[in-house]
Structure formats: C-alpha cells, structure tokens
Structure 1
C-alpha cells in the first residue's frame, strides 16, 4: 500500500511539475505548427488545384501522390519523431535548468528582448546546422547516416522528419545550443522559437514556392528557403544552410538554378 501511494504521489507530482508544464507548452506548439502546415501540404499533394500547382517547384516531375511505400515510411518516421519528442522534452528542460533557467510563470519579456534572443537563436542554429550538414555530405557520413534523409528527391513537408537518429541529435543540438546557453529565457520566447523553426523546416521541404508566406519571396538571395532546399534534395549537394545562404555563399556552395554554376 505504501509503495502504491508513493508511486501515485510521484506520478501526481510530475504532472504538476514545471518539467511537465514545459513539455506541454513546447509539444503543443510543435504539434499545432507541424500538423497545420503538413495537413495543407498533404491535401494539395493529393488534390490538384491549378492556382496552387503553379507554385510547385519541380513541375517537370509528377507529384508524389504518396504511393504505399512512401506512406508506410512517412507514418513510421513520423511516429518515431513524435515518440522521441515526448521523451526528449523532459531531458531538454533539465538541461535548461542545469545551465540556466526557463521562466515558466513570469510575465512575457519586452519584445526587444524576445526579438533579440530569437535573432541569436536563428544565427546560432544556422551556423551550426550549416557546418554539421556540410559534414554529413562527406562520402562516408552521407552513405551511412544522411542518405536516409535524401530518400526522396522531391520533398514534401513530412519528409523533413526522415532522418537517422544521429542526424536527429545533430538537428536538436543546432536548434537548442543557443537557447540553453543563453542562461535566462522565457517560455514564450522558447515557444515562438519552436514555431519559427518548425515552420521553416516544413516550408523548406514543402516543394512549393509560395508568395508572401515564404522567406524567398521577400529575401530570395539571403533566405532562399524552399527554392534552395528543394534544389539541395534534387541534386544531393549544395545549399547546406537552414535559414540563410550566407555560409553557402562564403563556401561556394550556394546554387539555386542551372544558370548559377557555383559549386563546391
């Protein structure tokens, strides 16, 4: 009886803890953005809508149409991604608390602070992602780890989660390095960062060059978004950055079309 009571008490305390609260906040934002974006992309992959199809990047190829083997792989990898997120978030919270602190209860910081921190998160993530991604395209690492992510040369939103566990760790490290070591962050800023990063990842793999809602519409050379990453999937090289093209331009790996012949 004592053992059962202590287990129940421990379970209750967890669901009332800041660890649980942090996990719920972050996971909720992740799921909302991930599934809103992907539900739309899945729908337009299955249904032909001319005014939307005109923005498809690889018009010369037939749509994926989600053949059975594609569907099975996507379901499997999406389930793995969702389960691993559940396991990862409590660990992430403890990591935050070990190196600094996440404010879960205080009022939202000034917008200047929020925007400053988001800018740091983006710059840090983009730098770490570029160099680790570039490394994953070296022959041995590509063949043994990164190739799984390049199964489809015609990406769509849910293919963003196709990755080897080692690559998944690299992606999380790039995303969370700066937030963890910033010492003091607010859950509002963290949730905003999650929403931005998830949207950016899904949009980059969308296979569409939509106006207004994608970065390449506003800053085509600096933040080429889906244009750059779709080209990366088509050719298995070039355009290794996530948000920006700065590192690619510096390293000579920036390429958006056949007319731009800069190669590594």
Structure 2
C-alpha cells in the first residue's frame, strides 16, 4: 500500500482533486471515485446510457482503440471536432455517434459505444485500474450520482475528480482547470454535503453561489465559447441541464452501465 500523502486530504469523507494527478492521489484511498468531464465525456456517457446504450471508455485514440472496439463488437466514436492551435472546428467528415452529446440524442438502444477521450475516458480507465469503484458524473446527473456514491461507499471515502481541459497551444498540452468541470464537481459535492474537504467544500460553495446562472456561466466560459466557435454550441445546453437525468453511470468490467 502506498504511503498516505497530504494530497490525499486524509480525514475527510469527500475529497476533490483535479485531473490525472487527482486520480493518482485519490483512487488508491477512495472507495468510490467520481470523474467529472462536463464538456463533454461524462455528459455523453449520461445521454448514451439514457438511450439504453452502454459505453466502454478508452484511454487511447490510435489503432489500439480500433482494436479494442472491434474485439468488443462496439461502435467506435470519433471526436467530431478537429483540434487547431486556436481551439476546435467541427469535423464535417464524422457521421453518426461521436464524442459530442448532441450526436447521441437519437442513439439506437442496445448500442455498445467505444468512446475514447484524452480527459474523461482516460481518467476513468486510470481510476478503474487502481481498483476503485468508478462513476461518471456531470451536471445532468449530479444529485443521482451523489446519492449512488454515498450508498456504494457506505462509511468509506468518496473522491471527486474534475477532469479539466487542455491548453491546445502548448506543446505539452498541460491541464487547464475549467469552470464547467468545477461547477459539475460542485453540484455533486453540494449534494453529498457532509464530511467535505476544503477543496470539495469550496466547489460546493461555488456551485451554490452560481445558482440558476450555471447554464449562462458555462455558455460564456472559455470552453463554452470554444464549442460555439467550432459550430457545435448545441452541446453546451445539453451539458448544462442540471439534474435532468437519473442515470448513474457505473463502470462494470470496463463498461459503463446504468446502476439501476
């Protein structure tokens, strides 16, 4: 067992830390880890499961993703966006299901999607590899996810990991903390309420302070404006529809299914 570090926020039932390093610190000491990637991975998972589909998160976007999808008999989604130094543009060549939530609203029930993303899917796979229970949380399912996490953890510890975005014009593509993830994480920690670390409590306070301005704030955030500039602004209101879903995406044997 790895040594306890100050970064694990020991002594608190609900803990919060960002991105890959957050998973690295929290997955080994938390009974449940909730990954939050509001724009867009965990929102897409929620919508897909709401349509009766299942989602296999993949940490790769190369030939390994194609091989994994083929072996599982899954439909491999593409990004739906083209990355540029200044942001994104819509990829007109992509047809059918993609990583974008708006492409999944008419998804055929029973579909198994293999969904690769450098943020949400990668963090989910890393948390699962560490042996913890993994849930995909977003604004749409925040309250349902919080209730399920509390039930699954019992007297144990819950970690909340906002994925964050990436700086596209940096060669290293370092973490860019983003308000949509922070508000999504805050909606979940606000619903958990008890035993919050200062990091988790501050996110909850930010979410409560935002109130009914959450959709407006996300639409006008860097991430929201980035998607609008790419011509895919329809994804933003879908992702900002707070507590519109009762879906609890639970990772079971490498596939997200709804915890009924």
TM superposition score normalised by structure 2: 0.24
- Judging by fraction of residues, say which structure has more strand: 2
Between structure 1 and structure 2, the one with the greater Rg is 1
- Judging by fraction of residues, say which structure has more helix: 1
